[in-house]
Amino acid sequence: MLELFFANVGDGDAALIREISDGETRMTVLVDAGRPFVEPAKTSLRKDTADHLVMQGVRKIDRMILTHLHIDHVGGAQRILNLIPVTSLSALYLPPEDAGYVEPDYFNSDKPRNGLRLMLNLFRETLQTAAEKGCRQEEIPEEKIRLTDKLSMNVYLPRQEITERQKEVFDDLYRGKAVDPDLLYRVSKERNLSSLMVGFSYAGRRVLIAGDRYAADWEEIWTEPCDILKLPHHGDEKAMTEKLLKTLSPQIAVISCQNQPKKKKDRPNREVLELLQTEVPQVICTENRRMRTLKAATHNGIRVIIEEDGSMSCRTE
């Protein structure tokens, strides 16, 4: 069977995928790692991704995939690498061999640009930890990857111009070169658009974990339906459109979010949620505040099981 566990990491993403046969785990994949620290709250069951993995009995990760360089997707990876053996770590981009510390801009308090600089340093430190632990690192290709005889993975890359622009700027920052402020701002704001999307196929079922890619960026080119969808960007207003949802036509939609709203972050967005509830038989949040069509709830996570005959079940824990 294939077991999917969407962990409640608050305002972040972490999805654990395991193929289990005869009681033994054959393959373990982690897509994203949540934040470096998840602040506890009385009304919440959210916790760090590493703590979730320990509770789930994970002793080894065959593949860790980081969809894009935002703190709520990459931040928890270093602690995981220190606690659990990881065979390989994949991302869209890896720093050059001569990458150094990215200096902050002491004369500019702009959050997107300085936030990107800090994120690049955290990413470099994470990869250094991976190297110390003997974890292989790769820039993941856009292709179908056979993980086991029953489980395959598809990786969907962002648009080429976004990838190339990001690589140029990141390489220059790591090498201490000056970067045009307007270009740096643009690339910092394009990180969601640079998100990998990862699909899994098992027993005739398709799973799509969409990272944070805004719906408008891929609705015109997407043609493949899926059975299980991890909604992009935590279900906010940019996460989904009616056109894209009708193409995807999932049976289960999972939203990773927290029950405490943040300033300028409406997650899940009411209109998006109601669209999902109209089109999708089962819509579940890892955690949510009370909304017009949704009760307030918090879970450790959401577990979806795909049996070898293709039957599916979904429950909260």
* pLDDT greater than 80 at residue 274: yes
| Cα–Cα dist 164/161, whole Å | 5
pLDDT, position 264: 76
Kindly report the three-state secondary structure assignment for every residue of 179-205: CCHHHHHHHHHCCCCCCCEEEEEECCE
Q: How far apart are CA 290 and CA 226, in angstroms?
A: 28
**Percent of the chain topping pLDDT 90:** 90
pTM check: above 0.85: yes
pLDDT confidence bin for 187, thresholds 50/70/90: very high
Local confidence band at 125 (pLDDT 50, 70, 90 cut-offs) = very high
Distance CA 184, CA 117 (A): 10
* Average model confidence (pLDDT) across the chain: 95
The answer for residues whose C-beta is within 8 angstroms of residue 149's C-beta and 6 or more apart is none
Report, as an integer, the average pLDDT of 282-307: 95
DSSP states along 78-116: HHHHHHS-EEEEEES----TT-------TT---HHHHHH
Q: What is the pLDDT of residue 2?
A: 98
Peptide bond into 268 cis (omega under 30): yes
Supply the range of the domain harboring residue 146: 2-316
% of the chain at pLDDT higher than 70? 100
Indicate the pLDDT class of residue 262, thresholds 50, 70 and 90: confident
Q: Which pair of structure tokens corresponds to residue 261?
A: 């709203």
Mean pLDDT of 142-157: 95
Domain count, the chain: 1
Residue-level pLDDT at 61: 98
Q: Using pLDDT thresholds of 50, 70 and 90, give the confidence band for residue 248.
A: very high
What's the rounded mean pLDDT across residues 296-315?
97
CATH assignment at residue 85: 3.60.15.10
Which pLDDT band, with edges at 50, 70 and 90, does 24 fall under? very high
pLDDT confidence bin for 112, thresholds 50/70/90: confident
Q: Which two tokens stand for residue 109?
A: 């308090």
Residue 261 has pLDDT above 90, yes or no: no
